[in-house]
Amino acid sequence: MNRFIFLFMLSVCVSNAQIKNEFERKIGKEEIPESTRFKLENGFTENVKIKWFYQEDGDKKVYEAKFKYNANVYSVEFDLNGKISNVEILTSKNNIPSDVFNVIDNEIHKEFSEYRILKIQKEFIGASEDLFDVIHSSTFSSNLAIDYEIEVNVKQNKRRHLYELIFDEKGNLTSKRKINLKSTDILDY
C-alpha cells in the first residue's frame, strides 16, 4: 500500500512539473511555404507587416506569424507543411467574460499565493477556414475551440518564476508549465 501511495504522489509531482522549453528564431518569409503566405496575406484589406518565426517546443516544431491588424495583435501558428493550427489574439482580462475570469482568477490563486499576470492571449483552435475568418473578418465560428493562454510572474520561495497557464472557455485550468527562459529567447512581440 505504501508503494502505491508513493507512486501516486510521484506521478502528481511529475505531472505538475511540466516545463516549457521554447526556442524561437526570426526567419525570412521565403522560408514559409508560398501557399501559406499567400493565404494569410491575401485576406488583408490593408498593408500588414508580418514577422515570421520558427519555433520549437519539445517535439513540436511550427512556423509562427506575428502581426498587428485591425487594432489587434495576432500570433498565428502553422505546421511545417504550412497548415494553420491556431490563432492567438492578445487580450486583457476586461475582454474575458467576468464570470469566466473569476473562475480563472480563483484557479490561479489556488496554484500561487503571489502572482502578477503578464500576458493574456485568446486562442482559437479549429478548421483552417474558420481560423482564417478569425483573422480576416473577425468572425468567430461556433465550431472553434477557445482557450485562454496566460503568462504569470510568480513569487515562490523568495524567487521569481514564469508560468504558462492554459484555461478552457469556461475558465478551467487545463495546463500549467513553468517557462524555462534562455538568454536568446524572444519574449514579446
Residue 81, domain member (yes or no)? yes
Residue 1, domain member (yes or no)? no
Question: At 39, which CATH number?
Answer: 3.10.450.360
Residue 5, domain member (yes or no)? no
SS3 110: helix
Domain around 171: 20-179
State how many domains the chain has: 1
Return the DSSP state at 149.
Answer: E
- pLDDT tens by residue, 104-162: 999 999 999 999 999 999 999 999 999 999 998 877 888 999 999 999 999 988 899 99
Non-local CB neighbours of 110 within 8 Å, separated by 6+ positions: none
Residue 6, domain member (yes or no)? no
Residue 169, domain member (yes or no)? yes
Residue 130, domain member (yes or no)? yes
Give residue 11's pLDDT.
43
Quick one: what percent of the chain has pLDDT higher than 70? 86
Residue 55, domain member (yes or no)? yes
pTM of the complete model beyond 0.75: yes
Residue 3, domain member (yes or no)? no
